[in-house]
Structure formats: C-alpha cells, structure tokens
Amino acid sequence: MSLLILLSLNQSLASQTLELEVGEQKAIKVGDTSGVVITNPKIAKLLLHGSTIDVVAKSPGLGEIKAGKTLIKLTVFSQKLAELRTEVAIWVKKVYGIKLETRSDKIILKGTAYRIQDWLHLQKLRGSYGKLVENKTELSPELIPRLEEAINKSIKDRAFSSVRARSVQGHIQLLTYTKNKAEIVALRELADEWGVDLSTASQAVELKPMVEIEIVIAEIKKTFNGIPRNSNSGNLFSHYYSCGRFEFSGHYF
C-alpha cells in the first residue's frame, strides 16, 4: 500500500501548469519525449528536441500535454484576453473584496463590491470587453442604499420621469411603466451603465401615480416659488404639503 501511495505522489508532482498567449512559444524540459500527445491539438503545436518540448500556442482553449510521467495542463489565451487579465489583475490588487479568476475564454470577477467607484469600474470593463468579462460580484448591504440614491440622482439629472431605482432582495432594479420604445432603449443604456436590471413588468405600474404626484409637487413648487410667504396661497400650499394632503379639485393640491 505504501508503494502505491508513493507512486501516486510522484505522479502528482510531475504535473505542471502552462499558460500561453496566442503566438507565444515556450520550451519545457521533460525526462522522456517518447509518445508525447496533446489532447487538444487545435490550441498548440509541439516541437520535440531531445528531452525538450517546444510548445507553440495557436488558438485559445484548454488542453493537456502528456509526456511519459509528465502531465502539462495547458491554457492558451487570446492576445486581447491576456492584456485584459494583466490590466484587471493590477486593478484587483488595489481593491478590497473583489477577486479575479481566469478561464481560457474569459475572466470572472467574484466577491463583494463595497464602493460605488468599484462597481462602476466593473460595468466599464463589461462594456469595453463584452463576453470576455463575467461579473459575479455582489453588492455589499452597505452599498445598496448608497448606489440606489446615486442612480436616482442620475435619473433626475437626465430628466427621466417614468423610472425609479428600487432595491429588491439585495439587488437594484430600474422600474419603469413607460411603453415608449426610444425611452426604453435609453433606460437600458442607463441600466447597463450602472450594472442593474431594467424591469417593465407589472410591478412597475404602481410607480405611475407616485411619479405623477412627484411631478405635480415639483410644478407646484415652481409656481409657488414666486409667491410671497405671507400670501394666502402660499400658506395654503404649505399647510397641505406639510400635512401630506392633496385635493385634486380647483387650483388646490
């Protein structure tokens, strides 16, 4: 039994990991090059020189090179992914809570975001590199209300009247009741920018009366801004506004 355990240990020690960029070449010294095979010949070309294997990366992918008792686990990245991985690895070192994982076809970002600027940088990476970036990062509980407030401020600054950001079970959604196709396109761009979902489902319909009242209040504030404080109209508005009462008849709200 001890012999079998020792043999298994030796085999595991012979395993190597090799990561290359397309077009890159690296020489690997092995004890025996007889019977060398590669499980995925599309990703690399092997050149044998005595006890050395030259591995020439051809296309992105995963594979294994077997040479005697040596096993080489090979990953080939595209040039763009290799550059992205280097860029993101430098950024991740400066950020708390976010980790980088690299696959042959993409990078995966995991962990928890604690700052709005980090969350926005993740969305920028997705926007710039598309499918090469997968974001599995979660929002920290402390960040959710701050992000929700920032998104609603952005919505107000852009004069969108039919949408609000709302936190739902640890995530943030943009809820809208609009049916205007051009506005929906603009809202999708806003959602992508902030890394949130856009919902036009039935639960967004309840926003309509609330948003309309907010618009009415804003218009009333503009109107009453020019009226002296001691006027009856100003006092009447202040009374109804402070009490949260609005009567939709005549000229009073």
> 158-208, pLDDT tens digit by residue?
988 888 999 888 889 999 888 889 989 999 999 999 999 998 764 544 555
For residues 246-251, average pLDDT: 40
| Whether the predicted pLDDT of 15 surpasses 90 | no
Burial of 176 (0-12, 13-18, 19+ CB in 10 A): buried
Tokens of 177: 């009741």
pLDDT at 217: 52
Domain boundary assignment for the chain:
15-77, 80-139, 143-205, 208-243
On whether the CB atoms of residues 216 and 253 are closer than 8 A, the answer is: yes
Give me the sign of the Cα torsion angle 38, 39, 42, 44.
Answer: negative
| 130 vs 213, higher pLDDT | 130
pLDDT at 33: 75
For residues 95-117, average pLDDT: 96
pLDDT at 7: 34
Q: Please state, in angstroms and rounded to a whole number, the distance separating the CA atoms of residues 159 and 215.
A: 11
pTM of the model: 0.68
For residues 72-92, average pLDDT: 94
| Whether the predicted pLDDT of 106 surpasses 50 | yes
Segment 162-167 long-range contacts (CB within 8 Å, at least 24 positions apart): 162/207, 162/208, 162/211, 163/187, 163/190, 163/207, 164/207, 164/211, 165/194, 165/196
pLDDT at 250: 39
Q: Do domains 80-139 and 143-205 have the same CATH topology?
A: yes
Q: pLDDT averaged over the chain?
A: 80
On whether the CB atoms of residues 125 and 133 are closer than 8 A, the answer is: yes
| 73 vs 218, higher pLDDT | 73
Confidence band for 154, pLDDT divided at 50, 70 and 90: very high
Domain 143-205 indexed as CATH 1.20.120? no
| 165 vs 217, higher pLDDT | 165
CA distances to 3, 34, 69, 74 from 8, in Å: 9, 21, 11, 21
For residues 133-161, average pLDDT: 94
Q: Please state, in angstroms and rounded to a whole number, the distance separating the CA atoms of residues 125 and 189.
A: 15
Give residue 208's Cα distance to chain centre. Answer: 29
Question: Tell me, what DSSP letter sits at residue 252?
Answer: B
CA distances to 40, 56, 79, 104, 213 from 22, in Å: 14, 8, 6, 11, 59
Q: What fold is seen in the domain 80-139?
A: Histidine-containing Protein; Chain: A; (3.30.1340)
Confidence band for 29, pLDDT divided at 50, 70 and 90: confident
Confidence band for 41, pLDDT divided at 50, 70 and 90: very high
Report which of 68, 89, 69 is spatially closest to residue 77, judged by C-alpha positions.
89
Residues making up the chain, counted from first to last: 253
The 10 Å Cβ neighbour count of residue 55 is 22
Q: What fold is seen in the domain 15-77?
A: Immunoglobulin-like (2.60.40)
Question: Tell me, what DSSP letter sits at residue 154?
Answer: H
Tokens of 59: 């296309």
On whether the CB atoms of residues 70 and 58 are closer than 8 A, the answer is: no
Q: Please state, in angstroms and rounded to a whole number, the distance separating the CA atoms of residues 146 and 45.
A: 52
For residues 96-124, average pLDDT: 96
Confidence band for 209, pLDDT divided at 50, 70 and 90: low
Q: Please state, in angstroms and rounded to a whole number, the distance separating the CA atoms of residues 16 and 28.
A: 10
On whether the CB atoms of residues 145 and 151 are closer than 8 A, the answer is: no
